[in-house]
Amino acid sequence: MSEIVDIPPSELSPPLLGTVLAVQANFYEVRLESSCDQDSDVACYVSTLLCTRRSRLKKIGQRVMVGDRVVIEEPDWTGNRGAIADVLPRITQLDRPPVANAEQILLVFALEEPTLDPYQLSRFLVKAESTGFQVCLCLNKSDLVTKEEQQQWQQRLKAWGYQPIFISVYNNIGLAELSDRLNQKITVLAGLSGVGKSSLINQLAPEANLRVGEVTGKLGRGRHTTRHVELFELPQGGLLADTPGFNQPDLDCTPANLIHYFPEAQQRLAVANCQFSDCLHRDEPNCAVRGEWERYDHYLGFLEEAIARQERLNQQADPESTLKAKTKGKGQTQYEPKLETKKYRRRSRRTQQQDLEELYQEIEDLP
């Protein structure tokens, strides 16, 4: 009888981990967390790999997003390639823009060129607050306004519940303070086109070397220079996600939740309660929110949008609805009557075949 010998388990090499920096088509640029391999001296000089996604992940519907921490298999150190075998659990997730594991939003606006619009700024702030992330407000081109105007904006935004950072990318003002806020975090950069986002990234992460656009004279807006979401490494640590510019972010929150995205309204609700638990803070009696605060009119405007959106969703979700929504030119939505399903729907071939088989069976059963 042979003797059983216990063989100690072999030491398995740790999995190769990385962070997805960019996604284009079916390829993923992944920054390695540890670029040295015991079996290859070449690996010590490789910091990023161009990866594909395993077909298994596609079959199970596993999406790979910018900011994901992933497991890499079969690295080709010579060709700087690899394959994403798994996606580690996400701490946070944004769908628009698609970014995983972000911790804060850096909202960049310009004081001039283009001129700062309070209503538009308020809309961006509400959208940023709805993500649940920390919000850092940065006002660029501070060199184009006077100190008095800066103080006025500072006092105004303080009443809104924010402490903005005044910077000038052109004159290198305030960038050190801003860098401290971004240190060791994944930050999503957002704001209008033309406010200096690309120039700011070039200052904070010089290796990015982004193309910079100009503000058009006709509309006072910038041209979009960013086409896809990408993470840039900051010299002091941390990652900055550049996102495609957009002019009007969607307010996809419910009417009841909208008030929670106004810090000044939350201050009022912290010391008093509304009479009704479902108060929308419009004309309800004994409302703790309604009153003299600057952005109350902004809230009412956004509330009408949220109510209209909720009504559209309810109508689309109602199976008994007799109307259907059709999108026309220029993004306009028009409702048209639905056809009666049972009257106009064509019977499938399978149903017809089953009916024929039942008919044949009945004929065979006849005496």
The C-alpha angle 290, 291, 292, rounded to 5 degrees, equals 145
CB atoms within 10 A of CB 245: 21
**pLDDT, tens digit, 9 for 90 and up, residues 300-354:** 999 999 999 998 888 876 555 566 666 665 555 666 666 665 555 666 777 777 7
Look at residue 292 in the predicted model and tell me its pLDDT: 86
Q: Looking at the chain, how many residues does it have? A: 367
The confidence score (pLDDT) of residue 155 equals 95
The residue ranges of the chain whose pLDDT is under 70 are 1-13, 34-46, 208-227, 244-248, 317-347, 359-367
Residue 191 backbone class (left: φ over 0; alpha: ψ -120 to 50; beta: rest): left
**Cβ atoms within 10 A of the Cβ of 230, count?**
21
Provide the pLDDT for residue 11: 46
- What is the per-residue pLDDT for 10? 40
Q: Please classify residue 307 by burial: count the beta carbons closer than 10 Å to its beta carbon, then call 0-12 exposed, 13-18 middle and 19+ buried.
A: middle
Given this model, what pLDDT does residue 223 score? 44
pTM for the structure as a whole: 0.73
